[in-house]
Structure 1
Amino acid sequence: MADPSTRTTATLYPYEKPSALGAPPRTHPVVIVGAGPVGLVLALDLGRKGTPVLILDDQEGAGQGSRAICFAKRTLEICDRLGPGQAMVDKGVVWNLGKVFHGHDKVFEFNLQPEDGHKNPAFINLQQPYFEAFLVDAIRQAQKDGAPIEIRGRNTVTGITPDPDGVTAQIDTPDGAYALRADWLVACDGARSPVRKMMGLGFEGRVFEDNFLIADVRMTADFPTERWFWFEPPFKGGGASALLHKQPDNIWRIDFQLGWDIDRKAELQEDNIRRRVDAMLGQGASYDLEWTSIYTFQCRRMEKFRHDRVIFAGDSAHQVSPFGARGANSGVQDADNLAWKLDLVTKGLAPETLLDSYCEERVHGADENILNSTRSTDFLTPKSDISKVFRNAVLELAKTHAFARPLVNSGRLSVPCAYDGLSLNGPDSLNGPRCTRVGAPCPDAPLAEGFLLDRLNGTFTLLAIDTEAPALEAADGIPIQTLTLSTATDDPSGALRQRYLGKATAALYLIRPDQHVAARWSGATQGDITSALRKATGYET
């Protein structure tokens, strides 16, 4: 297979005539519909845990164009655990700095990762086809290592029939149709989800009356590697706002806000696109148009993400506007949340009701993303003259007054949500830092050897800092590792103490496979830890 760092489109999983044609339906433990970022991450995680998984996709690989381009630190941490994270960072354009302009004037700049001591950057820009190609290569390597993962390209799901014990799916291929059974079917098939439509399920929310033109431009330019956002840009044709991002291979993503009442066909004509790009870059700028599209902001979600044996993840379950990079990143977090739960349920190590917590937690995450995305969109596109006056007053104040800068909203950029107050959470019996409270994702920290998140290996972990860990046995057969660290010898930078102890002198953390804190104590017995583990796996509600 070609090096994924040199391609944006490829046949990643070429069609092969299925052996299932003409045979009785075979049952698969997990079937995933859709081989985008979410489906691939979920399959890789499940397969590495030993749960057999089949991916069905109606294409044979990554499509054209950038689509998602901003991948956040939490996504990179998840991919790091699964294998391809470092390759993504090496290929991607790393950036931490963003600048906001109003007309010709810079309003302010911000640093998304002002503190040191993290293995991964705040963001990379990497075209989605690259992201998918790195994941497929990681799946191929996992297959060689024995992971039970199968991908079938040009296998289109045309019908599903759920029942209490699973799902029967009808599949169409170039050589004919066949049927299969799935104990669990996960729909990762995008915002237009055919699976959702086949089940007649709603997708409620808000469509914003505005259009945005995406232009991916190939050029050599000396712009810095930063996110530049303009309100009321000074260049003619820039619309009400504009955005500029650098990507690998000398590709630059440009977004222009067009307004609602437009002629889409006319706006997508090359002459009109070039007129806008020329105004931004200056007459005589040399570039090639690689990919263009027009999109409309939408913030929607399903009422619930689990429907018996059918589960929805990513854009099939929820959709947000692109500003803030919350689409693919939140979808990857869906997969991270679902994989360990589905693995335990499939292996009979946790009750089926554990999957209800996937819906609870990721609906919570979707609502947080939709709220932030809606606020961003309302700030970008004021709905009245007086709203615009207030918006512009905030921008003017932000030039010289720091208090106004948090009010400027050019897209609140993706961060993982904390599952505060939700049903899997155990006790928080440590007067510790807020960033590592129960329900929060674990922040990274440099150790004397490597980084903390590298030591959290996708199973439950009992982290003991400056204390002895109680002897443990796997409760209900659920694997759990113990990691003992000392701030005297393992914490040269002090970040571990700052982020996990605070004013406490010692701490015990129970950490979930998705690296969220399940419980924490200043001291705990074996019974305390076992009880928290049972709660985190759905046995105690």
Structure 2
Amino acid sequence: MNKIFEIPLYAYERSPDQDADTPVRRKVVVVGAGPIGLGAAIDFAQQGIEVVILDDNDKVSFGSRAVCYAKRPLEILDRLGCGKPMVDKGVEWNIGKVFFDERQVYQFDLLPEGGHEFPAFINLQQYYFEEYMVNRVRELQAEGAPIEIRGRNKVLKVEEHGDHASVLVDTPEGQYTLEADWLVACDGATSPIRAMMGLDFVGRIFEDNFLIADVIMDAEFPTERWFWFDPPFNKGQSALLHKQPDGVWRIDLQLGWDIDKEEEKKPENVIPRLKAMLGDDVQFELEWVSIYTFQCRRMETFRQGRVIFAGDAAHQVSPFGARGANSGLQDTDNLCWKLKLIMDGTAPESLLDSYDYERIHGADENIMNSSRSTDFITPKSEMSRVLRDAVLDLSEVHAFARPLVNSGRLSVPCTYDGSPLNSADALDGPARTRPGSPCPDVPLGDDFLLPKLGDKFTLLTIDADAPDEIEESGITVTRLALSTKNDPSQMLKERFLGGAEAGVYLIRPDQHVAARRPSYDDNLIRAAIRRAIGKE
């Protein structure tokens, strides 16, 4: 069994802040050293912002937990310096199969097109994810970046004071108070900070429970996502199978609502269920077992003054669709560059209103898809079940029924339609690169587009003239000039121009499109820059 769970990665060390006569003020305090908190802290540190991470643990999470990571979050993680180690260790997949009883009724491909640096999905245990991110923190520290991680520092109280937040922290050597210009709460689904501030979720809790089992075994299953409706080994319920690294397989089994959770987690009850699925002759070992209940909920607003919520602390969805951690990484990707501009005095604090708008838009999109998946997977009436089963039967032979099959609509990047930061679309180009959209990747010879965009404002010109650099409202925008004449794959033209002859794109630091035009217009591009930083 993997012993990584037992190794302190950021053991407690006494901080000088604990001995200060008055509370020390830090630029940013991130609470929670899970994937979302670490992602936020790394992003801040790479931009030169002082950040302290507080966590009541000192080890990686126990169990695989979040295991599926989609292409867009992998691209974000690559910018943070830890995407490639994850892909190297992870299990890549893009094919999903759906079974009804014992019949395969549907198959899908999540990335049927080429020209992307990263795969559609990888499966990787969360403990590896966290280990790689802590390794990245250590790399940044060695480079002199202003980032610190404090293990066994448990937040007991949070107060918001208008121009800062204060936190009361408990440690093995007593309590101390720390102040922060900004506090980012990434403390998970049960979020003690949310409770401390008297805040709650709105949404639904679904009346069903699922058993998660990480099983170590040698198996001949392909590297695909397999989902069963009403399988013979779990009649009337559903099941899911994913391959992970190190011979670990993730198995989810629907159990129903009226169960004794503690009893169901006992090995003597789990093992017979797994044998019914895998067969008596398959040798396996249990690594981790848990039970979860579906929840599709979010906070009404993700910001309370100087306290900002991200990830599961701000919103929750059912795990089918891999929309939890993937969405949380998009939260921090959206937040960090905006907070940087505000802290530098380049943008007004009202820019954070767009974090609320854009990421609540993303959360609502995820909740809608997750709720629909859950309703399909767990019908709430006999008529709903009859209709669901009819769709599954039809999908085996009729293509029109297959889009109706919903075993979990898998995570896709959010397009911020209607965002106050978007400028009017002036290019009759592809819908996938309209304002608010994340830039799709494109192969550029020996490299790809997204690494060239980085984490700054960029003016992407395609067969169009423009200045090499623009200074506007404290923002320096550099030009990346490309041409379809050097695009033998025609993917650049297909993804960014469509039928247009040329295009000019203003790209935000999170690689979302802020504006696009058929040619460079100085006044309009400058207005688009001001709008993208909340000044227009």
Pair in the same fold by TM > 0.5:
yes
Amino acid paired to 1:145: E
After TM superposition, what 4+ stretches of structure 1 lie above 2 angstroms from structure 2?
A: 5-10, 470-474
Match of 2:142 among 141, 144, 152: 144
Structure 1 unpaired stretches of 5+: none
Equivalents in 1 of 2:48, 2:312: separation in Å?
26
The answer for the alignment partner of 1:381 in structure 2 is 378
Relative to structure 1, is the Cα distance of residues 129 and 521 closer, same or farther in structure 2, using a 3 angstrom cutoff? same
The answer for the alignment partner of 2:69 in structure 1 is 71
Provide, for residues 265-306 of structure 1, a one-character-per-residue CA deviation record: whole Å limited to 9, x for no partner.
221121110101001110121010000001100011100001
Equivalents in 1 of 2:140, 2:19: separation in Å?
30
How big is the shift at 1:6?
9.3
Equivalents in 1 of 2:386, 2:219: separation in Å?
35
The answer for the alignment partner of 1:192 in structure 2 is 190
Please say if 1:17 is aligned against 2:14.
Answer: yes
Amino acid paired to 1:276: R
The answer for the alignment partner of 1:358 in structure 2 is 355
Please say if 1:167 is aligned against 2:165.
Answer: yes
Please say if 1:257 is aligned against 2:254.
Answer: yes
Please say if 1:492 is aligned against 2:494.
Answer: no
The answer for the alignment partner of 2:274 in structure 1 is 277
Please say if 1:339 is aligned against 2:324.
Answer: no
The answer for the alignment partner of 1:537 in structure 2 is 533
Equivalents in 2 of 1:529, 1:148: separation in Å?
34
**Residues 238 and 257, structure 1, Cα contact 8 Å, conserved in 2:** no
Structure 2 unpaired stretches of 5+: none
**Residues 442 and 448, structure 2, Cα contact 8 Å, conserved in 1:** yes
Amino acid paired to 1:464: T
The answer for the alignment partner of 1:475 in structure 2 is 472
Match of 1:414 among 411, 422, 443: 411
Equivalents in 1 of 2:505, 2:138: separation in Å?
34
Please say if 1:510 is aligned against 2:506.
Answer: yes
**Residues 239 and 256, structure 1, Cα contact 8 Å, conserved in 2:** no
The answer for the alignment partner of 1:224 in structure 2 is 222
Please say if 1:436 is aligned against 2:433.
Answer: yes
How big is the shift at 1:189?
0.2
Equivalents in 1 of 2:52, 2:444: separation in Å?
38
Q: Number of aligned pairs?
A: 534
TM-score normalised by L of structure 2: 0.98
The answer for the alignment partner of 2:199 in structure 1 is 201
Relative to structure 1, is the Cα distance of residues 431 and 144 closer, same or farther in structure 2, using a 3 angstrom cutoff? same
How big is the shift at 1:500?
0.5
Alignment of 1:13-92 (within 5 A): 13-23=10-20, 24-92=22-90
The answer for the alignment partner of 2:299 in structure 1 is 302
How big is the shift at 1:238?
5.7
**Residues 468 and 478, structure 2, Cα contact 8 Å, conserved in 1:** no
How big is the shift at 1:449?
2.9
Equivalents in 1 of 2:476, 2:398: separation in Å?
52
Identity %: 61
**Residues 170 and 179, structure 1, Cα contact 8 Å, conserved in 2:** yes
The answer for the alignment partner of 1:367 in structure 2 is 364
The answer for the alignment partner of 1:451 in structure 2 is 448
**Residues 4 and 60, structure 2, Cα contact 8 Å, conserved in 1:** no
Equivalents in 1 of 2:200, 2:87: separation in Å?
37
Relative to structure 1, is the Cα distance of residues 132 and 528 closer, same or farther in structure 2, using a 3 angstrom cutoff? same
Equivalents in 2 of 1:421, 1:58: separation in Å?
39
Equivalents in 1 of 2:254, 2:102: separation in Å?
17
Relative to structure 1, is the Cα distance of residues 405 and 249 closer, same or farther in structure 2, using a 3 angstrom cutoff? same
Please say if 1:390 is aligned against 2:376.
Answer: no
Equivalents in 2 of 1:417, 1:63: separation in Å?
27
Q: Secondary structure at the match of 1:63?
A: coil
How big is the shift at 1:141?
1.1
The answer for the alignment partner of 1:135 in structure 2 is 133
Equivalents in 2 of 1:8, 1:218: separation in Å?
16
Q: Secondary structure at the match of 2:255?
A: strand
How big is the shift at 1:471?
4.9
Relative to structure 1, is the Cα distance of residues 106 and 232 closer, same or farther in structure 2, using a 3 angstrom cutoff? same
Please say if 1:267 is aligned against 2:264.
Answer: yes
Amino acid paired to 1:181: E
Amino acid paired to 2:409: R
Equivalents in 2 of 1:109, 1:459: separation in Å?
39
How big is the shift at 1:130?
0.6
How big is the shift at 1:9?
5.3
How big is the shift at 1:239?
5.3
Structure 1 residues 357-366 or 341-350, which shifts more?
Answer: 341-350
Q: Secondary structure at the match of 1:473?
A: strand
The answer for the alignment partner of 2:346 in structure 1 is 349
Please say if 1:312 is aligned against 2:309.
Answer: yes
Equivalents in 2 of 1:61, 1:538: separation in Å?
39
Provide, for residues 44-103 of structure 1, a one-character-per-residue CA deviation record: whole Å limited to 9, x for no partner.
111101111111000112121000000010110001111111110000000000000000
Relative to structure 1, is the Cα distance of residues 238 and 89 closer, same or farther in structure 2, using a 3 angstrom cutoff? farther
Amino acid paired to 1:194: P
Q: Secondary structure at the match of 1:479?
A: strand
Amino acid paired to 1:382: P
How big is the shift at 1:477?
1.8
Aligned-pair Cα RMSD in Å: 1.2
How big is the shift at 1:360?
0.7
The answer for the alignment partner of 2:321 in structure 1 is 324
The answer for the alignment partner of 1:528 in structure 2 is 524
Amino acid paired to 2:264: E
Equivalents in 2 of 1:12, 1:506: separation in Å?
50
**Residues 238 and 276, structure 1, Cα contact 8 Å, conserved in 2:** no
How big is the shift at 1:347?
1.3
Amino acid paired to 1:523: S
How big is the shift at 1:164?
1.2
The answer for the alignment partner of 2:420 in structure 1 is 423
Equivalents in 2 of 1:61, 1:416: separation in Å?
30
Q: Secondary structure at the match of 2:219?
A: coil
Equivalents in 1 of 2:202, 2:28: separation in Å?
27
Q: Secondary structure at the match of 1:453?
A: helix
